[in-house]
Each structure stands twice: as structure tokens, then as C-alpha cells.
Structure 1
Amino acid sequence: MATASSFAAVFFSSAFAACFAEVCTIPLDTAKVRLQLQRKTPPPPPPATAATAGGTLATILCIAREEGVAALWKGLIPGLHRQFLYGGLRISLYEPVKAFFVGGAVVGDVSLLSKILAALTTGVIAIIVANPTDLVKVRLQADGKVNTVKRNYSGALNAYATIIRQEGIGALWTGLGPNVARNAIINAAELASYDQFKQMFLKLPGFTDNVFTHLLAGLGAGFFAVCIGSPADVVKSRMMGDSTYRSTLDCFAKTLKNDGPGAFYKGFIANFCRIGSWNVIMFLTLEQRAPLFIASSSLCSDSCEVYAFVKEP
């Protein structure tokens, strides 16, 4: 059974890996949020703006040109807050929850269903805790010069305080419904598919538990996560970026009616570039750093087995 020290070791190693990946990929996330917030409007005259630029690269270049390069890292501080809480919890809880679903210690191959259920569960728990950080991150990223809603937050702490003062503390959980759906789905796609891909690759001739295997498994996990989670991600971004929507269903219905079904995959390339690269960086960092954290905590052997997710199965 996992000890408190073993849980803490995996939590901090996961949080470190998630925060490092966030720093590396947040410009892609900013571009993705801006693309997801776009509404269907008549084509604007050139030059394009950051609100109307059609592609990922064009959006990044427009944001840098119009608002400065630093704007691409808007939302970094709450992004780090989010990754510390969400990234740390969803991964450190994964193996204990998976063991719960299989009815004991994780030994040998585990069914894909058990992996999916474990990842769905940890995704829900983690995002309920981290939703306020996600809200502030999206609002800071959406607060561009050409955005119709200009909130003028001076920073993350000011955003938290302003939201509580103006909208009430409950507003920090705005968009919780689609955020739970989005993160439960994406967490299941990422963790379960990474776990499954890695297990599958290690059974193939020539594959070992090395960086190349981790890279392929991370890319596969990222692709599945984007394909499955993009619609919920768009609804989440729109609800957090625009407080006029009454509910998740209202946002979904209005997006479908006004912008068409393709709107649910707005920013798909940016999202895949973001989540694909995020997964590769995060899992590579986790696979390399987690054993060091675990070893430094002087764990007993049975505790290490519980956290076999970051070790060779």
C-alpha cells in the first residue's frame, strides 16, 4: 500500500513535470484559446487581427505583433497554479485509484477499462480542486486588445480577488460542468492511452523503457486527448471567456447554432500542437525525474510498485 511519503513523491514529481511542460507550451495554449473564442463573422479586411487570424501560426504572430511577445505567456502564473494542483493530483492519484478498481495492488497487465475508469475519476477530482486556476488562466489569455470583453486584470492574484469581489466566490467555479467533462475525458485519453501505448510498445521486439518509447506513447496520448476532448474544451473556453452563457447546454447549443459543428474543433491544430507537445514534455520529464523523487524519499519496495506508472511495467 502506498505511504504518505510515496504519494508526496509522485505528487511533486508530477507537479514539476506538468509545470515544466506548461512553461514550454503556453504560447500554443494562448493561441488555442483565442481561436476557440472566435465567432463566425464576415471576413475582415486585411490585415488580420489576433481575434480573426485563421491559423495557429498566424494567431501567434498577430498576438506577438499587436500585444507584444509577452502576451503569449498571459495566464502563465495561474497556469502553473493549475498544473501544480491538477497535474500533481491527477497523476499521483492514478495508480492508487487504478488499484482500487482492480481490487488490490496493480500486478501485471491491467484492463483498458480499469485504466479509463481510474483516469476519469482522478481527472474529476483534480479539476474540481483546480477549476479556479483554470478560470483565471483562460480569462487572462482571452483579455486581448481586440477582445470584446476587456477585464484589465493586472495579474493572477488581482484576477482571483476581482472575480470574488465582483462576481462572488462561486464564480471561481464558472464552467465547472464542461471543465469536468473536458478534463475527465482528456485525462482518461492521456493517462489511459499513455499507459496502454507504453504497455503495448514494451511487448514489441526492439522496444525498451526508454526515451523513444516514452515519446511515441506521449504523442499517441496527445492525439487521442485532442480528438476526444476538443468539443468540451471549446465549450469550457467559451464559458470561461464569456459570462453571457447561462449554462453548459446553452453554450453548446448557441455555438452549434451560430457557428456550426466545425466550431467544436476550432483551434484543433493549435490544440494538438499544445497537448501533443505538452504530453511529450510532461511524460518525458516525469519518466526521468520521478524515479529520482521516489528514490530520494527512501521508499520501501512495495510502495514503489504502487507507482509503477512511472516505471517499467
Structure 2
Amino acid sequence: MADLGPQAEISFAGTFFSSAFAACFAEFCTIPLDTAKVRLQLQRRVSAGDGTNSAKYKGMLGTMVTIAREEGLPALWKGIVPGLHRQFLYGGLRIGLYDPFKLFFVGALLIGDIPIFQKILAALLTGAIAIIVANPTDLVKVRLQAEGKLPPGVPKRYSGAVDAYWTIIRQEGLFALWTGLVPNIARNAIVNAAELASYDHVKMTILAIPGFTDNALTHMLAGLGAGFFAVCIGSPVDVVKSRMMGDSTYRSTLDCFIKTLKNEGLSAFYKGFLPNFGRLGTWNVIMFLTLEQVKKIFRG
């Protein structure tokens, strides 16, 4: 990820597969944090007998420990299969299309830094296009992550990712795979713009500082900045997206937003903020570090 310059060109296929590989690697490393985030976002406080409110999951580490203790360590990787499906499609498309969209908006003859507005616009559009394709994988991932420890004798809703796809189609119809598409487009377009545009911009800003070069430290700092901006901007729509995918009682995106705001207040939209940042910050650092290295291979 960098602005236009005298670098060797990489084909769309090369960019797609290097992006897909980097995204899948980052997904595998960080999905326990994502599982904790989803559980925190879906959690509703339960009134205890003494009139106080209690919550099963508390904090990122506490949530991960609770899941591992009650359901076993592998439960932290629930949803990894559709998660990898998602990252292959979504990660490959959103990054693979990013540079071509930037070129389209500014023209192929531009030399030097691309204006931030064009970066944001390109990332918004590529994020929206990519998630329209990948929404079914996102839905299945959230459904599998949301399922906690069941009482004895109660069967699981889905035996695995493939079973989840077919069960949803059979019970809810084909288009149910695109449940939550509107908040998902909003969330992923916004987060993609925050990640790609901020990574692009932060990286170029760092490279302008004397002593910094295009190396792993620069990539790590830019990736961490991308993760922070993405969480700050995208957390509210991420909560709505997770709730709509994990709970079919909401009639629409607006219904989910209003009920969440009315019943739990504005702070509910930042539920799981720390695990979300822990996950996205770590995810972006791993993904961009991996991506930059893999792209060097394609450049020869």
C-alpha cells in the first residue's frame, strides 16, 4: 500500500492474492479477539435478585478466559472457516481494487501524493463492493461466534461453516445470507476507508520524517494508526451489524439502532471498544506487515 511512484507494477491478480493471503494470516492470528468482541457486543445486562445488573463477559481478557474455561480453548477460533472465506474474498477485493480506483479518480498521469479525499472515496467504494460479495461469509462467521455453551441435550444450530450456509438457505431463504447487508456495507465501507486511507496517509507522513524508511517499523506504526482510526469511526455500525446478524428479532437497521439506543444508551455502540481496537490494531499491524512483504515477492 503506497501512493503512485516509481515502483514496479503488480497485476491485479498479484495484488488480490497477496492481499488475500495477508488478510487470512491476520484473521487466523487475531480471531480470538474478534470472538471476544462479538460476545461483548451481543451481551445484554441481566438484572440480579438484588436489583443490580450483572454481565457474564467483562473485558477482553476476561471474556476470552470465560469462553476458554466454559467451552474450551478451540471455541476462541469459532468462525475461523467462514472468517478465512471472508478475508479471502473481502480482503482480496477491497485492497486489490483500491489502487485501480485511485487511478480512476486522479488519472494515470499523476505523480506524487494522491489527495486524501480521493483515497477515502476509493476505499469507501472498494469496501462496499467487497462486502456485498462477502456478506454471506460474514453472517456465518458471526452466527458461529455468537453461539456460546449450550445446556446439556440442546443441539448446536450448526455443525460447521458449510452446514451453516445450507441451514440458513434452507430455513430462511437464499437472501437471508445477506442479512445485515446495509449496516455491513456502512461498517465495512467506513472501516475500509479509515484503514486504507489512513494507512496510506500515515505511511507517507512517516516516510517524510528524516530517519524513517520504508521498513517494518514504518509499516507497523502505520498499521496501528489505521486500526485506531477504523475502530473510532466504525464501532457504532459494527455493533449494529453484529446484533442484526446474531439476533433475528430486529426488523431493520433503524429498528436495531433505536432499540439499542433506547434500552442501553449511547455507550452501547462502543461496547467491546478495547477488544475491538486490540483486535483491529493487531490485525492491521499483522496484515500490512505481511502484505508489504508478500508484495515484494511479486515485484521481484
Shared fold, TM over 0.5: yes
How far, CA to CA, are the matches of 1:44 and 1:33 in structure 2?
Answer: 27
Among 108, 111, 116, the residue aligned to 1:104: 108
How far, CA to CA, are the matches of 1:189 and 1:276 in structure 2?
Answer: 12
For residue 26 of structure 1, what is the aligned residue in structure 2?
31
| Cα distance change, pair 175–106 in 1 and its aligned pair in 2 (3 A) | farther
Q: TM-score scaled to structure 2, two decimals?
A: 0.92
AA of the residue aligned to 1:240 = M
Among 76, 80, 84, the residue aligned to 2:84: 80
- SS of the aligned residue for 1:72 comes to helix
| Cα distance change, pair 271–150 in 1 and its aligned pair in 2 (3 A) | farther
Q: 1:147-192: CA deviations, max 9, x gaps?
A: 9x98521000000000000000000000000000000000000000
AA of the residue aligned to 1:131 = N
Deviation at 1:207, TM superposition (A): 0.6
AA of the residue aligned to 2:149 = K
Structure 1: give runs of 5+ residues left out of the alignment.
296-313
For residue 271 of structure 2, what is the aligned residue in structure 1?
266
Does the 8 Å CA contact 2:127/2:193 hold for their aligned counterparts?
yes
For residue 218 of structure 2, what is the aligned residue in structure 1?
213
AA of the residue aligned to 1:81 = H
Q: Once structures 1 and 2 are overlaid, which stretch shifts more, 97-106 or 188-197?
A: 97-106
Deviation at 1:103, TM superposition (A): 2.5
Q: TM-score scaled to structure 1, two decimals?
A: 0.88
2:70 paired with 1:66: yes
AA of the residue aligned to 1:23 = F
Q: 1:215-269: CA deviations, max 9, x gaps?
A: 0000000000000000000000000000010000000000001111000000000
Deviation at 1:53, TM superposition (A): 1.7
The 5-angstrom pairing of residues 121-270 of structure 1 reads: 121-145=125-149, 152-270=157-275
For residue 302 of structure 1, what is the aligned residue in structure 2?
none
Q: 1:37-58: CA deviations, max 9, x gaps?
A: 011332589xxx9x72211111
Does the 8 Å CA contact 2:39/2:57 hold for their aligned counterparts?
no
| Cα distance change, pair 146–105 in 1 and its aligned pair in 2 (3 A) | farther
Structure 2: give runs of 5+ residues left out of the alignment.
1-8
How far, CA to CA, are the matches of 2:216 and 2:291 in structure 1?
Answer: 11
For residue 299 of structure 1, what is the aligned residue in structure 2?
none
Give the number of equivalent residue pairs.
288
Does the 8 Å CA contact 1:215/1:280 hold for their aligned counterparts?
yes
| Cα distance change, pair 265–121 in 1 and its aligned pair in 2 (3 A) | same
Among 3, 6, 14, the residue aligned to 2:19: 14
Does the 8 Å CA contact 1:40/1:258 hold for their aligned counterparts?
no
Question: After TM superposition, what 4+ stretches of structure 1 lie above 6 angstroms from structure 2?
Answer: none
Root-mean-square deviation (CA, aligned residues, Å) is 2.0
How far, CA to CA, are the matches of 2:91 and 2:176 in structure 1?
Answer: 22
Deviation at 1:93, TM superposition (A): 0.3
Does the 8 Å CA contact 1:238/1:251 hold for their aligned counterparts?
yes
| Cα distance change, pair 110–43 in 1 and its aligned pair in 2 (3 A) | farther
- SS of the aligned residue for 1:135 comes to helix
For residue 287 of structure 1, what is the aligned residue in structure 2?
292
| Cα distance change, pair 252–93 in 1 and its aligned pair in 2 (3 A) | same
- SS of the aligned residue for 2:133 comes to helix
| Cα distance change, pair 248–151 in 1 and its aligned pair in 2 (3 A) | farther
How far, CA to CA, are the matches of 2:172 and 2:299 in structure 1?
Answer: 42
Among 82, 89, 92, the residue aligned to 2:93: 89
Q: 1:16-48: CA deviations, max 9, x gaps?
A: 000000000000000000000011332589xxx
How far, CA to CA, are the matches of 2:278 and 2:265 in structure 1?
Answer: 23
| Cα distance change, pair 53–205 in 1 and its aligned pair in 2 (3 A) | same
Percent identity, please.
72
How far, CA to CA, are the matches of 1:5 and 1:160 in structure 2?
Answer: 34
